[in-house]
Amino acid sequence: MKVLVIGQGGREHVLVWKLAQSPKVEKVYCAPGNAGTALDAENVAIADTDIPGLLEFARSNEIDLTVVGPEAPLVAGLSDAFREAGLKVFGPSQAAAQLEGSKEFSKQIMRAAKVPTADYRVFTHADEALEYIDLREQEAVVVKADGLAAGKGVFVCSTKDEAKDAVKTIMVDHKFKEAGAKVVIEDCLEGIETSILAIVDGKTIIPLETSQDHKRAHDGDTGPNTGGMGAYSPAPYVDDDMMDTIIEKILIPTVHTMKTNDTDFSGVLYAGLMLTSQGPKVLEFNVRFGDPEAQPVLMRLKSDLFEILMAAAEGRLDQIDDLEWDERAAICVVMAADGYPGSYPKGDAITGIDDANELENVKVFHAGTKLVDGKVLTNGGRVLGVTALADNLTAAKLQAYKAVKAIRWSGAWCRKDISDKARD
């Protein structure tokens, strides 16, 4: 079988790596890919939002399954275009991708499904949003741009002034352009954050092993929000009882309501959760694998990922055997470029990746990298996801950071405390 993975980050590298391990897969392409996917697959120079270009490539190369990594092509309708052309694709339709593409849509689904989440209001005018903030009893509040804002459209505010500034940034300064035409203002939840990912085919739900991301830039969860500075799996806070609650109160009603809403969900349902004193509540839904959560989770998956994703694309997940998992723990440490999540340089030469990969049970997943004349250069903010598997989290952490030490470029940095939250 021939597989096309769409995207160019760390998530796409782990997808490529895992799919290539399937005995059923003879060839993996990645569009546009990075330096890492160039080694584990064949890169194709087509942008991930160039739907006609990707469709043409998939047709002429007789691709059997296309796996969409990021949200933007899904929200732009890539899956619909592929399905209409009779091609198999893993990823939700444009209508179902609104679960991530519009925070208002996502909240409406949660309300209809009675899924626990923060109380919220939606505003289309800045003055009404500002007035509402003034009238609220609590100071703490979360202000979110409705549309896709590359993970930067959420402001967790501890004072009313901060919240008003956030509304102005979104609706008056138009920082996120049309993604900020509406704002969702919601109660601030407290608790431990965790991500649950499930593979869904419209009706059957297969939850994956648990993981926890580290969204803030610096140690101890300080500094600005990022796309994720590291993740580990399994997350100790989610025991079997908690997982049952999440499945029963969140995943099943969401998938059911998406069906009755005529926006059947097929693909990865990613629930970002806050484990509050009143139980798990949804912070957000995403419609794709988490990055960097996918790296440690898929490193622990023993089952054939191709078979699972193909079954989801064909609507026959009910025929898939129970997933097999490596009982060991995995940790992914993101190495970032100087300045990230603000502006950062590109084009710095990276050394030591091969040495790191030679360490036992280590795999360096590439994110913002590109291959130029045989050299790996930095090409993004999150550059590498150094991932290690070991008997427990403590050993996995030691191994991942040993690998990090082998890798160098000018200005490289990472958090030093990935997975410490599991031991708090």
Which option in ligand GLY, ligand AMP, none does residue 188 bind, with CB closer than 5 to 8 A by kind? ligand AMP
39 interacts with ligand AMP by CB under 6 A = no
Draw the binding track, 102-141, toward ligand AMP (x: CB under 6 A; -: no contact): ----------------x-----------------------
Draw the binding track, 63-102, toward ligand AMP (x: CB under 6 A; -: no contact): ----------------------------------------
193 interacts with ligand AMP by CB under 6 A = yes
* 333 and 404 Cβ atoms separated by less than 8 Å: yes
Structure tokens given for 372: 């130029």
Question: How far is the C-alpha of 286 from the C-alpha of 290, rounded, in Å?
Answer: 8
40 interacts with ligand AMP by CB under 6 A = no
Question: How far is the C-alpha of 19 from the C-alpha of 83, rounded, in Å?
Answer: 21
Nearer to ligand GLY, 130 or 269 (CB): 269
Neighbours of 424 (CB within 10 A): 7
Rounded to a whole number of angstroms, the minimum distance from the CB of residue 418 to ligand GLY is 13
Rounded to a whole number of angstroms, the minimum distance from the CB of residue 386 to ligand AMP is 22
Structure tokens given for 170: 């979104």
Question: How far is the C-alpha of 422 from the C-alpha of 397, rounded, in Å?
Answer: 11
Nearer to ligand GLY, 7 or 36 (CB): 7
Which option in ligand AMP, ligand GLY, none does residue 293 bind, with CB closer than 5 to 8 A by kind? ligand GLY
Structure tokens given for 11: 């998530």
Nearer to ligand GLY, 43 or 286 (CB): 286
Nearer to ligand GLY, 44 or 296 (CB): 296
Rounded to a whole number of angstroms, the minimum distance from the CB of residue 416 to ligand GLY is 19
Residue 386 amino acid letter: V
Which option in ligand GLY, ligand AMP, none does residue 290 bind, with CB closer than 5 to 8 A by kind? ligand GLY
Question: How far is the C-alpha of 185 from the C-alpha of 121, rounded, in Å?
Answer: 5
Question: How far is the C-alpha of 387 from the C-alpha of 404, rounded, in Å?
Answer: 9
Binding window for ligand AMP (CB under 6 A); candidates: 80-88, 165-173, 186-194, 384-392: 186-194
Using CB under 6 A, list all residues that contact ligand GLY: 213, 227-228, 286, 290-291, 293
Draw the binding track, 156-175, toward ligand AMP (x: CB under 6 A; -: no contact): x-------------------
Structure tokens given for 237: 């806070």
Question: How far is the C-alpha of 297 from the C-alpha of 303, rounded, in Å?
Answer: 12
Q: Select from 166, 189, 273, 412 the one that contacts ligand AMP (CB under 6 A).
A: 189
User: Count of residues binding ligand AMP (CB under 6 A)?
Assistant: 14
Site for ligand AMP in 199-218 (CB under 6 A): 215
| Closest by Cα among 281, 179, 251, 227 to 70 | 227
142 interacts with ligand AMP by CB under 6 A = yes
Rounded to a whole number of angstroms, the minimum distance from the CB of residue 214 to ligand GLY is 9
Rounded to a whole number of angstroms, the minimum distance from the CB of residue 98 to ligand AMP is 15
Nearer to ligand GLY, 58 or 337 (CB): 337
Which option in ligand GLY, ligand AMP, none does residue 304 bind, with CB closer than 5 to 8 A by kind? none
Backbone angles phi, psi at 132, to 5 degrees: -60, -40
Q: Select from 39, 126, 181, 188 the one that contacts ligand AMP (CB under 6 A).
A: 188
Nearer to ligand AMP, 215 or 249 (CB): 215
Nearer to ligand AMP, 84 or 190 (CB): 190
Which residue has 């800045």 as its token pair?
A: 126
Q: Which residues contact 173 (CB under 8 A, 6 or more apart)?
A: none
Please give the residue ranges that form the binding site for ligand AMP (CB under 6 A).
118, 142, 144, 151, 154, 156, 186, 188-189, 193, 215, 272, 283-284
